[in-house]
Each structure stands twice: as structure tokens, then as C-alpha cells.
């Protein structure tokens, strides 16, 4: 007597609602697979070894999900397909459309956008077709490089596209991409979205420009950068001083005062009677050390100005004299020789009034 198992095609087993008894076998003769009842699962449990990933009970591949078409519409060459239920397709996925009486829709298509959970779009290269309801199915195609990831919500492993596609990331929502756009974060939706960056200053969020004119500059008003005319910051007159060591009457000492690289000299003030000579460099001061007060300096010798005060007084320089540091590199040093003419040993303080000319 022959032993017979419960049997049928794979499709019949899938469609069946019967639950095989515990250990009851069920053979699908069109694909040669054997299932065994566990007393719970309709159609039994697959006990085949060495089969495909899709045969595992905790794996759901996009290629095994078939969605029925409800309707479609077309604008120019962009087709929007509406499905009868939510789908898990994604932008860039290739799908197979089959069974539609609209021949132009059938075939392998690449999804370009996902307008909603029940629709997707693709570009149609064939001639325009009328918009109408249709039937058929859509099945996803597993792309090269796809990987399995765990879906904790559904409780199974599913295939995902290769990593590196921004549009497939959960916190990214791209629409109507255009050249030159960039990603910005939208805190309202907690998503990164595509946006066209500002092409001029006024397009920046912290810049407010109104009727700009030639020569204006941007300044910060505490909230935004705004355009306006800013006057040049002109320097003001300053006084700089230096004091010699205690020197005998009719003897001299050198002092160096910190001033500016170049300047206008307005006055020279001394704390006692003194002969003061101002130089452009330390070398010029050294070369002039032996000259007496009654001898004029040689032109071009580096002497900028000299005064002979007969008491503690201020000598105005009229017109003002242009002074400068002639060292290399240029510094802000002003070199002075001071001769004490007070009649007794004294420390002489010299004060120069200057206007800065360069930084």
C-alpha cells in the first residue's frame, strides 16, 4: 500500500487555510519542497535546507511583495501609479509592472519619487497615453549590493538598498531635486530636506539689506547684518614721553620713545632747559653724536627736528614736521638725543605731541 502525503502546488499551499497536524507532511510538487505541520502554521513549516534566503520564516524580501495597481495618471512623461494598499518601495528601486492592459506601463521601471505611502512615480519614455484606471501588479526587484536589515516594528529581516543613497535614510525627505541644491535640517519635520542655497547676501537669514548704494559696507546691529555707510576712523593727536637718566649739565643722553612708524610732530616739551634732537634711526643718532647745537645738521642725515628750550617749556613745531622710522624692518621707535642745559645735574623728561599716519 502506497503512503501519500498531503500535496498540491506552492500556490495552493500558500492560499490554503488548513493547518496540518503536528508532524503531518505537506509536499508541493511544482517546486519540490516539503513542509511539516506544527499544529499552528497554515500550510505547515518549511523544512527544506540549503534553500533561498526568502524561504526563511523571519525574512521578507521586497521581491516577494506584490502590490495590486488601483489606478494611474500621467502628466507629460511622468506616470503616477496608485496601489491598493501601502507599499515599502523606495526612490531609485526598480520594480516590475505586469498584467496591466496598458502595454506601455508593463515592464521594468525605476521609481523616481514617492508621493505617498500608496503611490510612486516613474518616467515614461514611450508616447503619451490616456489617464485611466487599470489593473496589474507591481513587484520590487532586489538591487545589486542590497543588504538585509532587521525591521523591529514588523519583526523580520528585510532587504534594503546599498548604503550611500541619501534618499533612503530615515531622516531625509527629498522632493523635486534640482542642480545646486543642498541639504538643510527642518526642525518641524525632524528631517533633512533639499533646498536651493542663497545666491546673494540678502538671501542669508541673518542679513537684511535695503536699497544698497555704492561704497556701503555690512555692519552688525546686534540682530542682523545690515548695509550702511561707515565713516573712516580718523586718528587723534597723542602725547608720548621719555625720560633720561640723571645727567650732568651740558652733557647728553640717548632715549628711545615708542610712537608710530610715521607721524606728524606738533610740539616738543621738556621738563627743563634742554637741546633735543629727533632722529629717524639709531644709526643716524650715532652719526650725529658729535655735532654741537650751533651747527646745522647735514641734509639727509636722518635728523627730523631739533629744539633748544631755555627752560621747562613747550616748543610748537609750525608747520608740523613729518617724521618716520627708517629702520629695516620698520618699527614704532622714535630716537632722541637730549642735552641737559638746566645748569645742574638733572633727569630730563621729553614729551612729543604726535598724529599717527600709518599702522
Which tens digits make up the pLDDT trace of 246-258? Answer: 999 999 999 999 9
Model pLDDT, residue 313: 96
Q: How many helices (H) and strands (E) does the chain have?
A: 2, 28
Domain range 238-356, CATH class: mainly beta
Cα gap 56→38, rounded to integer Å: 16
Q: Is 60 exceeded by the pLDDT of residue 57?
A: yes
Local confidence band at 264 (pLDDT 50, 70, 90 cut-offs): very high
Q: What's the whole-number mean pLDDT along residues 190-203?
A: 83
DSSP 8-state secondary structure symbol assigned to residue 62: G
Fold classified for 62-140: Elongation Factor Tu (Ef-tu); domain 3 (2.40.30)
The number of C-alpha atoms within 13 Å of 105 and in the hemisphere containing its C-beta is: 26
SS (H, E, C) 154-191: CCEEEEECCCCCHHHCCCEECCCCCCCCEEEEECCCCE
Which is nearest to 121 in space by CA: 48, 200, 176, 163?
176
Q: Kindly give, in sequence order, each residue whose CB lies less than 8 Å from that of residue 22, ignoring residues fewer than 6 positions away.
A: 37, 38, 39
Q: Does the pLDDT of residue 268 top 80, yes or no?
A: yes
Largest CA distance in the chain: 148
What is the structure's pLDDT at 88?
A: 84
Which tens digit of pLDDT belongs to each residue from 220-233? 888 889 988 876 67
Instruction: Give the percent of the chain with pLDDT over 70.
Output: 94
Which of these CATH numbers, 3.40.640.10, 3.40.630.10, 1.10.3720.10, 2.10.10.30, describes 6-51? 2.10.10.30
Same fold, 6-51 and 62-140: no
Residue 274's pLDDT is what? 97
pLDDT tens, residue by residue, 24-43: 888 887 777 788 888 888 88
**Confidence grade of residue 13 (pLDDT, cut at 50, 70, 90):** confident
The confidence score (pLDDT) of residue 350 equals 98
**What's the whole-number mean pLDDT along residues 240-246?**
97
Query: DSSP letters along 189-219, please?
Result: TTEEEEEPPPSSGGGSTTEE--S--TT-EEE
CB 45 within 8 Å of CB 55: no
User: In 3-state terms, the chain is what percent helix, strand and coil (to 5)?
Assistant: 10, 40, 50
Mean pLDDT of 15-19: 79
- Poorest-pLDDT segment among 180-189, 200-209, 272-281, 327-336: 200-209
Q: What is the pLDDT of residue 201?
A: 81
341: helix, strand or coil: coil
Q: Where are the domains of the chain?
A: 6-51, 62-140, 238-356
pLDDT of 217 reads 87
Q: Tell me: the pLDDT tens digits for 129-147?
A: 666 778 899 988 888 877 8
Amino acid at each position: 500500500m502506497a503512503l501519500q502525503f498531503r500535496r498540491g502546488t506552492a500556490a495552493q499551499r500558500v492560499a490554503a487555510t488548513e493547518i496540518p497536524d503536528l508532524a503531518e507532511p505537506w509536499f508541493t510538487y511544482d517546486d519540490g519542497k516539503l513542509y511539516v505541520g506544527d499544529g499552528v502554521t497554515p500550510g505547515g513549516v518549511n523544512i527544506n535546507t540549503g534553500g533561498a534566503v526568502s524561504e526563511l520564516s523571519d525574512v521578507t524580501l521586497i521581491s516577494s511583495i506584490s502590490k495590486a495597481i488601483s489606478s494611474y495618471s500621467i502628466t507629460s512623461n511622468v506616470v503616477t501609479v496608485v496601489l491598493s494598499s501601502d507599499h515599502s518601495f523606495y526612490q531609485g528601486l526598480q520594480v516590475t509592472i505586469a498584467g496591466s492592459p496598458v502595454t506601455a506601463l508593463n515592464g521594468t521601471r525605476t521609481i523616481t519619487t514617492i508621493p505617498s505611502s500608496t503611490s510612486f512615480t516613474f518616467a515614461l519614455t514611450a508616447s503619451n497615453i490616456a489617464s485611466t484606471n487599470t489593473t496589474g501588479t507591481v513587484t520590487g526587484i532586489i538591487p545589486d549590493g542590497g543588504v538585509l536589515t532587521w525591521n523591529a516594528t514588523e519583526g523580520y529581516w528585510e532587504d534594503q538598498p546599498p548604503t550611500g543613497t541619501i534618499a533612503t535614510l530615515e531622516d531625509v525627505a527629498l522632493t523635486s531635486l534640482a542642480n545646486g541644491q543642498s541639504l538643510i535640517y527642518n526642525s518641524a519635520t525632524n528631517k533633512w530636506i533639499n533646498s536651493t542655497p542663497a545666491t546673494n547676501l540678502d538671501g542669508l537669514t541673518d542679513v537684511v539689506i535695503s536699497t544698497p548704494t555704492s561704497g556701503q559696507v555690512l555692519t552688525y546691529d546686534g540682530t542682523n547684518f545690515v548695509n550702511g555707510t561707515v565713516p573712516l576712523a580718523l586718528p587723534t593727536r597723542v602725547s608720548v614721553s621719555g625720560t633720561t637718566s640723571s645727567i650732568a649739565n651740558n652733557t647728553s643722553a640717548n632715549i628711545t620713545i615708542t610712537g608710530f612708524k610715521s607721524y606728524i610732530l606738533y610740539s616738543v616739551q621738556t621738563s627743563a632747559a634742554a637741546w633735543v634732537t629727533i632722529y629717524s634711526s639709531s644709526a643716524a643718532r650715532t652719526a650725529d653724536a658729535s655735532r654741537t647745537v650751533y651747527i646745522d645738521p647735514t641734509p639727509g642725515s636722518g635728523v627730523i627736528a631739533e629744539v633748544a628750550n631755555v627752560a621747562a617749556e613747550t616748543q610748537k613745531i609750525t608747520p608740523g614736521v613729518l617724521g618716520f622710522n627708517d629702520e629695516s624692518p620698520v618699527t614704532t621707535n622714535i630716537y632722541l638725543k637730549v642735552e641737559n642745559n638746566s645748569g645742574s645735574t638733572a633727569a630730563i623728561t621729553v614729551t612729543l605731541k604726535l598724529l599717527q599716519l600709518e599702522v
